Structure 1
């Protein structure tokens, strides 16, 4: 069945072509500019739509609309029950899976619209796993502010749980929703995407103050050193050197060997290279450019290791109070 091999955009393009220009135009009025552009490109890429494919897409659309109506009327279990009676168990389960994958609203949407200080009061006494799940669905800055305000012991526990989160089943999300809906209104359970993991906790830690970050990472270092090391590696990458002010960059350059710097810049962006060159004397910058230009082939792994070496230097200087890394989630106090 060809429709099953098509992307959502391709199916939407077939649907719009099948509905005709007038109806399609009225639908476009309710879409964002990027969505319109994506669909227009998908429509332009369509070849002649075979009747069988059109019917298959229209049938799938009808099933999903029907399933969504049932879902809104009585939840996922109600929708599944009615669909099973109408279409059979296998087809009903298939529709439910496609429906939950296609809806665009993420869980805890109302939580993301809530002031972090209010949300903190709301969740701080919940189980650490519940807090981790909620934080994983928040914006990183919002989650970072809340994480900073938890007790040190709870910070570490929650951070570890966020890092280890993978997929969360709809049933678990539904259970949390029913527990929390009395205090936060309108939790929407339409989307069950992946949340949490290393990148999620890294985003949060990049938004917390240095004291909170150090407390969490030092404790994780004792309990789960491999996890802590993986988080540290991703927290400040070489390209983030542009977050430093010129004085800090100059201090870093005084600590870095010129050969290491040349290798690290071999794959760096123009923006990073420009910031480095700007903080060197004209002669030193020209010599460094020559070193990079005449450097032979280098393994990417060696370049990345050299960049990590420089990152370690930056982190060491920050720990010593010699430089300041601009952090989005804290009010900088410079004395």
Structure 2
């Protein structure tokens, strides 16, 4: 999928149920003509993929930790070093904050943790303060990102682009991305429709003939095609089904022509947010994707500047205080799954309250064994302590969210010990 497709995924990623309430509307941005006929068209010599566009399906991959290098390339390319805003334009950090909201919490967390403390402290308040992003503004911000990608490619050539992608996503995904740069015509027809909602597909095909609709449906996943067909009126539904049943071979040129027309229309179909954005919830989701130490440092920084905001964010996260208030029986059971070495690294950089909570939920003999392991392994690498802590907190957080763990002060219900 090209960057325009990525733009639409960015809107979707930023409109998750936990972070944003959406009112979906479709905004036409092109004058693409409907594919009214299945007659072949002359081949166009123009490539449909613009310079700087990358076709990808980011939701199917996990980003490699080495994304830092690519992040630096983009920030140095202009994301945080754009010229001073003209009079009447918003602050650059506010714009970056909106960009992070648009690309989704997973990618935002990866970018945020590689920025300087000064940049982070300026961006975070802007994220929490963001209430809405208008469709035109969102499009403009993502176009700026598109320009940065194009700038990087033009400045370094194909080889440089390959290296950046390898460092960001690993060799295999980099190869996949590069392979898709200029081969849109080789892609399976209508593949970009698989991620769209039935209502969106129906809107794209509303001006098309039923034979064209049948052609498109024949390339969709069966369930997706059925969902769209069910939304047609009775007459069209019957005709489309008959066309599917009687479908014959269609020339590749005709398929390519229809695919191109529908694809152009899909690029103009943007799912946008017109309702409020809960900036604090967005930031909380971003922080959840970061390591525990960074999360806590950012919370403390916010508390120093704005205690009320810090408390509101803390309510949305899982903190040391939550561990101290967690049900002992659950802690005991979970500690049995961990090795003595794991627990030694877990308590290695914690205060006495946390250590006491852990030791209280194990036998004296095991506590002694853990202390011995701690002594043997010190000095400990900070990153190793952070890693086991992140796993521990993540496990407890999910257990609480799933209703398996009781936390005093978090749950409204009262319990009898």
Q: Which has the higher contact order (CA 8 A, sep 6+)?
A: 2
Indicate the structure with greater helix content. 1
Instruction: Give the TM-score, by structure 2 length.
Output: 0.26
